[in-house]
Amino acid sequence: MNAFSQKLNSAVQDAESVSSVWTELAALQGTVQVFWEQYLQAVGQQLGARRVLLLSSGVGQPWQALAQWPAQAPELPSDADEALQLLQRAQPGLPVLSHKPQGACVLAMLLPNAPVGASRVAALVAWLTVSEEQTPNQWQAWAVSVAQVPAAYARQSAEAPALQTAQVLGDSHDPLSAEPHAQRLYQILRLSIDLSQQDRFLHRAYELCNALAVRFNTDRVSLGWMHPPYVRLTAISHIEKFDPQSNLTRALESAMEEAADQSGDLVYPLPEASRQVHRAHESYALMQGVAALASVPLREGAEVKGVLCLERSQGVWTPEELWELHLMGQTVVRPLAQLQQSDRWWGARTKSRLQKWLSQSLQPKQSAWKLGGCCLW
């Protein structure tokens, strides 16, 4: 276990014995300024960072520094260029890491829905003084989860008056739905680190389905993986073997493909205002006697890698549960995709690389290279 992995596991163990620093921050009752000061400090201390910088930008505007930790941290001549280069590559749910000489590295990640003002996006850049050459999968899970803490703080702060009113009126809530968003973040981090112990794709897929089935008290959780243009059923919770040719399997795959073809997560029954197509979901639900379905596409950037489908024989899916499921999908998709690629035999990997290269070479942005090749002839 390398230094980074030890820090992450130590953080999780500390959270289990007392209370997670991220749970406390997301539930903080203080001002936004106090939150950012403590948030940057927590990130810096857990990573052993030389400097942690908070930036913000509006549409079409340059990045502006809002705060940093430590307050008097020295700025090296290369810091600004490194930050801008990484932020150009960063995407929601896809933090980036750049290695530097002498084992140091720079981490950049976007902070979706952070409290930095309307129509603005926030980002964090951290300069780590010591890093391992091969960073474990845990850092991705850690970064994705920690990036959601500001949004959880903002949402919980906005909901606090409504929650107090509900408590006065004596409203009853489902225990899982009433669970603070901060605690949900901790559960996501814990699950991600547990899954990282599985070094084979099918094993990790099976454990993911089992863990989600327990977490959300579902009758069944299934994972389908993309084999373009189709989705193929890969794992089902608590079922080691299934018939890939059965009518039930094909109906489930059709529902997963229906979710993969649309933007956002897909639930059945649909909310009244939704215009999503749900014919395959309705057909599968009637076939299985399912009261509620939730299908979450696993996206790496704009590309769908797989689909998670959760089934309940009674009840409905709450917004809080869907929020957590969506974040879990963002957290696990890249490690799953990397593991799936490494588990394939060398012929399949070579074929996949050639297909990707041919696809990219035919794009318009490659026209100059193709024209140059023609001139050579």
Average pLDDT over residues 140-164: 74
Q: What is the pLDDT of residues 250-282, one digit of tens each?
A: 999 999 999 999 878 999 998 887 889 999 999
Which amino acid, residue 332?
V
What confidence category does residue 58 fall into, taking pLDDT thresholds of 50, 70 and 90?
A: confident
Q: How far apart are CA 70 and CA 103, in angstroms?
A: 21
Q: How far apart are CA 334 and CA 356, in angstroms?
A: 17
- Return the pLDDT at 358: 58
- Return the pLDDT at 252: 96
The one-character DSSP state at 341 is H
CA 243-335-102 angle, 5° bins: 160
pLDDT tops 50 at residue 149: yes
Kindly report the average pLDDT of the chain as a whole number.
79
* 233-356-95-186 Cα dihedral, nearest 10 degrees: 10
Structure tokens at 80: 């600004």
pLDDT tops 60 at residue 46: yes
Report which listed range, 8-22, 131-145, 295-309, 316-330, is most confident. Answer: 295-309
pLDDT tops 60 at residue 165: no
Structure tokens at 179: 């669970």
pLDDT tops 80 at residue 344: no
Structure tokens at 90: 């960063």
User: Rounded to 5 degrees, what are φ and ψ at 276?
Assistant: -70, 150
Q: Is 203 helix (H, G, I), strand (E, B) or coil?
A: helix
Which amino acid, residue 205?
A
pLDDT tops 60 at residue 160: no
Residue, of 78 and 4, whose pLDDT is higher: 78
User: Rounded to 5 degrees, what are φ and ψ at 120?
Assistant: -125, 155
- Return the pLDDT at 374: 36
Which amino acid, residue 340?
Q
Q: How far apart are CA 292 and CA 281, in angstroms?
A: 10
Taking the whole predicted model, whether its pTM rises above 0.95 is answered as no
pLDDT tops 90 at residue 125: yes
Q: How far apart are CA 137 and CA 118, in angstroms?
A: 33
Structure tokens at 47: 């990573």
pLDDT tops 70 at residue 179: no
What confidence category does residue 361 fall into, taking pLDDT thresholds of 50, 70 and 90?
A: low
Q: Is 35 helix (H, G, I), strand (E, B) or coil?
A: helix
